[in-house]
A = this chain, B = another copy of it.
Amino acid sequence: MTKDNKHKKSIEEKEGIPQIGITNNSLISEIQKKRKSHPEVQNLIDGIFKGDITSLSRSITLVESTHKNHLKKANAIIKACLPKANNSIRIGITGVPGVGKSTFIEVFGKYLTSLGKKVAVLAVDPSSSLTKGSILGDKTRMEALVKDKNAFIRPSASGESLGGVARKTRETIILCEAAGFDTIIIETVGVGQSEIAVSSMVDFFLLLKLAGAGDELQGIKRGIIEMADAIVINKADGDNIKRAKLAKVEFDRALHLYPEKESSWQPKVLTCSALHHEGIEDIWDIISEYKNLTVTNNHWTSKRNHQNKYWLIQTIENQLKENFFNSDKIKKELKLQIKLIEEQKTTPFAAAEHLLSL
């Protein structure tokens, strides 16, 4: 205590009157110990809260790591960020390659920062572990946005599974929100299960299309049109304008065949030309309109709660399966039982019971 009292204080002290310590020694030493063992963690948290991009980037790297010690640090950072998270609007953007996603996101992002927003652009692309990031890996495609101090672009986490990539992205959202980003854009490629993953982590899901691309059947088949809160027909410029308008009419008609959404939001169809910066404001207006409606009718919160529950259950179920099927004993016996089924000596159901009893 004596030592502490010798420190200069910003408020002048009266001599001769003993100062009461602001805290006790044991608490101080505990805090000091904690800082020593996780010096980095507290610095990173402080940095994130101040909106420091380097701290944010380094923390995301910890989240994306497979190193046990890194993950421990990542979890501490996430926990600290949680109370400051959840205050952004999360927008998912999908579309097949060639639809102009990068140009669209750059122009859309620049428009948002011009409105005073802080925009983080993330990506979900499980294939990136193979292709070293097929989307957003090349930041040169969003030159203007990269240079914008109110924008933060992060390529897709790599990982063997979509589940792993999705988890890392969801945790990255928390960090970005705690760093003050109020608009989170999550890009995904228009193939496979990634769209389902992204749609279950965003508030608003936007499907980018081209007029007459002939992939309407694919969109319907994959249920992607059903997920969309807005369909934006891009490249509506030059000779394309007429076709884009026609496509808009067709999509409008198709959307009306679907039952009303739980949000009571009627999905909108718009045209735009990202290249010529046309129609971008309308898209943001639509998204704002969606937010107003769903915040008012409480769908906004209930959707986020629903999404959290979904990820909770998904994570548990995946882990249960992994724990079971990764045991050497089960692996060996599973092979044997499959052989017995093929030889018509047992049924799939009897074999399942046997394996579960091991």
- A residues sitting closer than 8 Å to B (CB atoms) are 75, 78-79, 82-83, 85-86, 167, 170-171, 174, 217, 220-221, 223, 226, 254, 257, 305, 308-312, 315-317, 319-321, 324, 337-338, 341-342, 344-353, 355-356
Contacts of A344 in B (CB 8 A): 82-83, 85-86
Contacts of A79 in B (CB 8 A): 346-347, 350
Nearest B-chain residue to A305, judged by Cβ: B342
Expressed in whole angstroms, the Cα–Cα distance for A317 and B320 within the complex equals 8
On whether A352 and B82 interact (CB within 8 A), knowing A174-B347, A324-B320, A347-B174, the answer reads: no
Contacts of A351 in B (CB 8 A): 312
10 pairs, A vs B, C-beta closer than 8 Å: A78-B350, A82-B344, A83-B344, A170-B347, A171-B347, A220-B221, A308-B341, A309-B341, A319-B352, A319-B356
Quick one: copies of this chain in the complex? 2
Expressed in whole angstroms, the Cα–Cα distance for A74 and B267 within the complex equals 52
**B220 close to A349 (CB less than 8 A):** no
Q: Distance (Å) between the CB of A226 and the closest chain B CB?
A: 7
**A217 close to B217 (CB less than 8 A):** no
Q: Distance (Å) between the CB of A264 and the closest chain B CB?
A: 21
Expressed in whole angstroms, the Cα–Cα distance for A94 and B350 within the complex equals 28
Interface SS majority for chain A: helix
Q: Distance (Å) between the CB of A161 and the closest chain B CB?
A: 14
Expressed in whole angstroms, the Cα–Cα distance for A221 and B227 within the complex equals 12
**A338 close to B309 (CB less than 8 A):** yes
On whether A321 and B317 interact (CB within 8 A), knowing A78-B347, A220-B221, the answer reads: yes
Expressed in whole angstroms, the Cα–Cα distance for A348 and B223 within the complex equals 25
**B83 close to A312 (CB less than 8 A):** no
Contacts of A82 in B (CB 8 A): 344-347
Contacts of A345 in B (CB 8 A): 82
Expressed in whole angstroms, the Cα–Cα distance for A86 and B348 within the complex equals 14
Contact of A223 among B85, B221, B315 (CB under 8 A): B221
**B324 close to A312 (CB less than 8 A):** no
Q: Distance (Å) between the CB of A149 and the closest chain B CB?
A: 28
**A321 close to B320 (CB less than 8 A):** yes
Nearest B-chain residue to A321, judged by Cβ: B317
